[in-house]
Amino acid sequence: MKKNLIFLMLLLSTITIFSKVNVKPLNICTTKLERMPQRIGNTLYFVANNYDIYESQFENGKWNNPKKVNGEVNTSANEINPHVIINNGKKIMYFARYTDSDTNYDFYRAEFDENKNIWKNVQTVNELNTKAQEWDIWVNQDETLAYFTSAGEYEGSKSKGGRDIWKSEKKNGKWCTPVNVSKLNDEGNQWSVFVDEFENIYFDSARSDALGGYDIYVYLKQKDEIKHLSRDINSFYDDRAMSVYENKIYFTTKDRSNGPGFYDIYEGDLSGGF
């Protein structure tokens, strides 16, 4: 009886902690699907509805009505995990698209035409695509470094688990053979990856210390250690698909209690450190 009482007190304490945290769903979330966010400036790119890529602008303290990105990015297939950079003044988008049952998702690259306000020149990133599933990709501003997640193998190097985090450098205009980032991978899946301005690497994983199915972790480069993000970010649900902008983290949670439902996008505060 005493043990049960102690357990109940701890559970109530945990619930109280969750009720006070500074994590909130974005105002654009609905009972449908919104996931895989990336903020760049006052623009949020994300996936919604029937797995097309959308954008929303931050104006007057809130996100305005989302709209599909214009041009050649969205098709009748699924497009996921947009990652936008600005390389020498040109806006570039990397993303994944479903191809067929054999290769599943592959990575693509598109360029933005400012004059026509459209995304165009969509091409496959051949050096990083395999016959297995490629899922999420982060690329630096000058397109010389990429971290991504894949279930594939590269020149005989196989995933440690289901989907691993890989790293590739671009030399002479070509992506080099990816290297497995073994210190970040376990025997399960690492679905998403993002690198912040301090070269800290964020990823999601279902590890033994996870509060829910999947939690968000960060590899702190200066300390050379992996940190489990605090309870004001992670929850009893699946917390995945994150990106960082300044001191904010944007991520996806499915069926979290304070959201509209299904997949929602949340904003959390990282200003207090890890």
Residue 29: per-residue pLDDT: 97
Tens digit of each residue's pLDDT (9 = 90 or more) over 235-249: 999 999 999 999 999
Mapping DSSP to helix (H, G, I), strand (E, B) and coil, where does residue 52 land? strand
Res. 86 pLDDT band, cuts 50 70 90: very high
Tokens, residue 51? 């797995």
User: For residue 30, which amino acid is it?
Assistant: T
Give residue for tokens 């671009």.
170
Residues 6+ apart with CB under 8 A from 215: 204, 205, 206, 207, 209, 228, 229, 234, 239
Give residue for tokens 């691993």.
164
Local structure of residue 178 (DSSP, 8 states)? P
> What is d(CA 246, CA 162) in angstroms, rounded to the nearest whole number?
31
Residue 271: per-residue pLDDT: 86
Res. 6 pLDDT band, cuts 50 70 90: very low
* Global model pTM greater than 0.75: yes
Cβ atoms of residues 181 and 165 within 8 Å: yes
Residues 6+ apart with CB under 8 A from 259: 25, 29, 253, 266
Cα distances (angstroms) measured from residue 3 to each of 8, 12, 211: 9, 14, 21
Residue 212: per-residue pLDDT: 85
pLDDT at 8 exceeding the cut of 50: no
Percent of the chain with pLDDT over 70: 91
Q: What is the mean pLDDT of the chain?
A: 91
pLDDT at 16 exceeding the cut of 80: no
Residue 19: per-residue pLDDT: 36
Cβ atoms of residues 218 and 234 within 8 Å: no
pLDDT at 18 exceeding the cut of 90: no
Percent of the chain with pLDDT over 90: 80
Residue 12: per-residue pLDDT: 38
Mean pLDDT value across residues 87-104: 91
Tens digit of each residue's pLDDT (9 = 90 or more) over 127-173: 999 999 999 999 999 999 999 999 999 998 988 888 999 999 999 99
Tens digit of each residue's pLDDT (9 = 90 or more) over 32-82: 999 999 999 999 999 999 999 999 999 999 999 999 999 999 999 999 999
> What is d(CA 68, CA 78) in angstroms, rounded to the nearest whole number?
13
Residue 121: per-residue pLDDT: 98
DSSP element (H, E) containing 105 = strand 104-113
